[in-house]
Amino acid sequence: MLKPRRRKYIKDFRGRRKGLAVRGSEVVFGDFGLKSLGVSWVTANQIEAARRAITHHLKRGGRVWIRIFPDKPITGRAAGKRMGGGKGDIVNHVAVVKPGKIMFEVGGASEELIKEAFAKASAKLPVKTKMVS
């Protein structure tokens, strides 16, 4: 799973998730991209599942670029734990995805094959997506 090697501060605030993606909103590396249409936290497991769906469908027929990285730690507490006692332990890492963010890019394969691969990857993600070129 993807996660940062080290951080200056171990835990983060939750933050606001409003607005459009300013950076990373254009296809740069590949021919086609999977663009987010909504706001969500995408976990490291979801990114890996989508990546595996794309590469499995392409059958070594193209190159895949992952344009998002889960660098935000999310903390959690055990169910039934009483109030107080500080912030919980880190459960997983997420990438904050805003509308317009290109999450994956693919190059070197036919458009129909990439469209099918992105459809399979989109089913693994918690946000609505569309294919852009």
Mean per-residue pLDDT over the chain, rounded: 92
- The pLDDT of 119-123, averaged and rounded, is 95
Tens digits of residue pLDDT in 76-112: 998 888 888 899 999 999 999 999 999 999 999 999 9
Q: List the beta bridge partners of residue 40.
A: 97
Instruction: Supply the CATH classification number for the domain 40-76+87-132.
Output: 3.90.1170.10
pLDDT at position 41 is 95
Mean pLDDT lowest among 14-18, 42-46, 116-120: 14-18
Angle 111-123/44-58 helices, nearest 10 degrees? 150
pLDDT band at residue 4, thresholds of 50, 70 and 90?
confident
Q: Is the pLDDT of residue 128 over 90?
A: yes
pLDDT at position 1 is 82
Q: Which two tokens stand for residue 45?
A: 């497991």
Tens digits of residue pLDDT in 19-77: 998 898 999 999 999 999 999 999 999 999 999 999 999 988 889 999 999 999 999 99
**Ordered DSSP codes for 24-53:** S-S--SSSEEEEE-S-EEEEHHHHHHHHHH
Q: Which two tokens stand for residue 107?
A: 């190059």
- Contact assessment for residue 24 and residue 95, using Cβ atoms and an 8 Å cutoff: no
pLDDT at position 61 is 84
Residue 99 CB contacts under 8 Å (≥ 6 apart), including other chains? 20, 21, 36, 37, 38, 39
Angstrom distance (rounded) from CA 8 to CA 128:
33
